Structure 1
Amino acid sequence: MDEDTTASGTRERKKDETRARIADDVIALMAEGRLDISHDLVAERTGIARRTIYRYFPDRQELLGGASTRVRELAGPGVRFPESEADLTGTLLDTYTGFDRIAPITTLMRSTPQGRAMRMAQNDMRVERYTAVTADAVKDLPQEDRKLATALLQMLHTTPWLEMRDHWGLTGEEIARATGWAIRTLLADLRSRGDRPLSD
Structure 2
Amino acid sequence: MDVQKDQVRGLRERKKDDARNRIADVVIQFMADASEINHDVVAETTGISRRTIYRYFPDRDSLLSTAFTRVREMAGNRVVFPKDEQALLGTRSIYSGLDRIAPIATLVRSTPQGRAMRLSQKRERQESYLAVAADAVKDLPEEDRVLATAVLQVLHTTVWLEMRDHWDLTGEQMGRATSWAISVLLNDLRSRQGRPLSPDSR
Give the TM-score, by structure 2 length. Answer: 0.95
State the Cα RMSD in Å: 1.1
Residue 150 of structure 1 corresponds to which residue in structure 2? 149
Cα distance in 2 for partners of 1:184, 1:89 equals: 7
Cross-structure match for 2:8: 7
Distance (Å, rounded) in 2 between the aligned partners of 1:65 and 1:113: 14
Equivalent residue letter for 2:124: M
Q: How many residues align?
A: 198
Gapped regions of structure 2 (runs ≥ 5): none
Letter in 2 for 1:108: L
What residue number does 1:67 align with? 67
Question: 4+ residue runs of structure 1 moved beyond 3 angstroms?
Answer: none
Aligned to 1:47: 47
Q: Report the counterpart of residue 21 of structure 2 in structure 1.
A: 20
Q: For residues 94 and 15 of structure 1, what CA distance do their matches in structure 2 show?
A: 29
- Taking every aligned residue pair, what percent have the same amino acid on both sides? 65
Unmatched segments (≥5 aa) in structure 1: none
2:78 and 2:142 map into 1 onto residues whose CA distance is 32
TM-score, normalised via structure 1 length: 0.96
Deviations 1:46-94 (A, max 9, x none): 111001111111100111111111110111111101111221012x122
Alignment of 1:120-199 (within 5 A): 120-199=119-198
Per the alignment, residue 89 of structure 1 pairs with: 89
Distance 1:87 1:65 in 2: 22
SS at match of 1:86: helix
The one-letter amino acid paired with 1:82 is P
> 3-state DSSP class of the match of 2:69?
helix
Residue 144 of structure 1: CA displacement? 1.4
Please state whether the residue corresponding to 1:78 is helix, strand or coil: coil
Instruction: Please name the residue that 2:100 is paired with.
Output: 101
Q: What is the deviation of 1:8?
A: 1.9
What code does the residue aligned with 2:14 have? Answer: R
Letter matched to residue 86 of structure 1: Q
* CA offsets 1:93-130 (integer angstroms, 9 cap, x no match): 22111101100110001111111010001101111111
Per-residue CA deviations over 1:2-43 (Å, capped at 9, x if unaligned) read: 222222222212111111110010010111011x21100110
